Structure 1
Amino acid sequence: MEALIIIDMQMEMQHRIDSGRECVNADAADRIAKLAATFRQKGLPVLHIRHHAEDPASPFHPDAAGYAPMPCAEALDGEPVFRKHTSSAFASTDLSAHLHRNGITDLVVTGAVAGFCVNSTVRSGADLGFNMTVVRDAVIAFSLPDAGLSARTAFDVTMAHLEADFARVIDTSAML
């Protein structure tokens, strides 16, 4: 069975976009909403991953304005929400056990941020034997100014690595 995974589409991502931070796929939320609607219409699972930080100063602390899900990532009744404190959604949650219990073998991955949580989740999922698909235009990337990397470079390198050995990489139109 196939499932859609929405990673870390929390208000902090919208805050970064709104602040003018260099970004690839600033409109990914629209595509994620379409993908979620399609999966729901087909009766396929939609799974939500949220970054949960214990540090009260973090924008991902439950009391912070950045913690809440973006509208595209609101869980409907019965849709599981996994709260992680690591980069990979597999490392600090029971996601793998949930997938196995529910016969889910194929994961369609969207969300944020390409070079971080999306990357580590896809690699971990592939290592665990799941068939991974990344929806390229439904994944956000930001620049890494301290490393001298543009958002485009960080995104393109991440997608190339994932496609080379860990996942099928496609666009929303091909997925729909």
Structure 2
Amino acid sequence: MSKVEANTALILIDWQEGFDDWDHWGGNRNNPEAEKNASLLLSHWRQNNLPVFHVIHHSTLSKSPLRKEKPSGQIIQLLAPLESETLMHKRENSAFVGTHLEVSLRRLNIQKLVISGLTTNHCVSTSTRMAGNLGFDVQLVGDACATFDRIGPDGQEFKAQLIHDVCLSDLHNEFCQVVNTADII
């Protein structure tokens, strides 16, 4: 029996091949289990015939690995969408800006979202914040997200796990409930 209600959609954000180039994104990605956990969520949604939305980044920068015409811009095979699942391309940091995601969710009477993706502190955070602000009941699956090391404006290095943890703590109880895969399935 599913713990997920019928009016709950799974939103998978930026699970693209281009994120395999760790050096490009800052190195030292955290959470090596993120893809596996996202795959468990996706399998659960498919088994229960629940709505799935894949949202990927189509960068405005021609040299970016996240361009839909490049192999690196494609969704990783483990999470590749089925023909029956919605695929949207975004140009901004939010899955809701420049896409028909909100309209599609509203048409299906979706009130609850479960979100997974890359990177925790960028598109996942921005999308989660907007979803909460738009009135959706959001569960962000922390162990099905990941990020990379970052260099601050003063040159200080911040480790991926710290960034991930701080981002999740900023979102929890404000824009969403942060949960783990086991809490959902």
Bin for the TM-score computed over the shorter chain: over 0.9
Contact 2:55 2:95 in 1 (8 A): yes
Which one of 161, 169, 172 corresponds to residue 178 of structure 2?
169
Q: Which residue of 1 aligns with 2:86?
A: 80
Amino acid across the alignment from 2:158 = L
Partner SS, residue 72 of structure 2: coil
* Residues 24 and 141 in structure 1, CA contact (< 8 A), matched pair in contact too: yes
Instruction: Please give the alpha-carbon distance, in whole angstroms, between the structure 1 residues aligned to 2:145 and 2:88.
Output: 18
Q: Which of 156, 168, 171 is equivalent to 1:159?
A: 168
Distance in 2, matches of 1:123 and 1:20, equals: 24
| Structure 1: segments with no counterpart, 5+ residues | none
* TM-superposition CA deviations, 1:84-137 (whole Å, max 9, x none): 000010011110000000111100000100000000000000000001101110
Indicate whether 1:65 and 2:71 are aligned. Answer: yes
Amino acid at match of 1:170: V
Does residue 1:142 correspond to 2:151, yes or no? no
List aligned pairs for 1:123-138, cutoff 5 A.
Answer: 123-138=129-144
Q: 1:22 aligns with which of 21, 28, 34?
A: 28
**Could you list the runs of 5+ residues in structure 2 that have no partner in the other structure?**
1-6
Checking the alignment, whether the CA contact within 8 Å between 1:14 and 1:70 is kept in structure 2 is no
Normalising to structure 2: TM-score of the pair?
0.89
Q: 1:34 is matched with which residue?
A: 40
Residue 11 (str. 1) matches residue 17 (str. 2): yes
Show the counterpart of 1:103: 109
1:146 positional shift? 4.4
Give the superposed CA RMSD.
Answer: 1.8
Distance 1:46 1:35 in 2: 10
What is the alpha-carbon distance in structure 2 between the residues aligned to residue 160 and residue 174 of structure 1? Answer: 17
Q: Secondary structure at the match of 1:23?
A: coil
Look up the SS of the partner of 1:136 in the other structure. strand
TM-score (normalizing by structure 1): 0.94
Contact kept? 2:14, 2:118, Cα under 8 Å? yes
* Alignment-mate amino acid for residue 105 of structure 1: Q
* Alignment partner, residue 57 of structure 2: 51
Q: Following TM superposition, by how much is the alpha carbon of 1:61 offset from its aligned partner in structure 2, in angstroms?
A: 1.6
Q: Distance in 1 between matches of 2:158 and 2:111?
A: 34
Runs of 4+ in 1 over 3 A off after TM superposition: none
Q: Which residue pairs with 1:122 in the alignment?
A: 128
What is the CA-CA distance between 1:74 and the residue it aligns to? 0.7
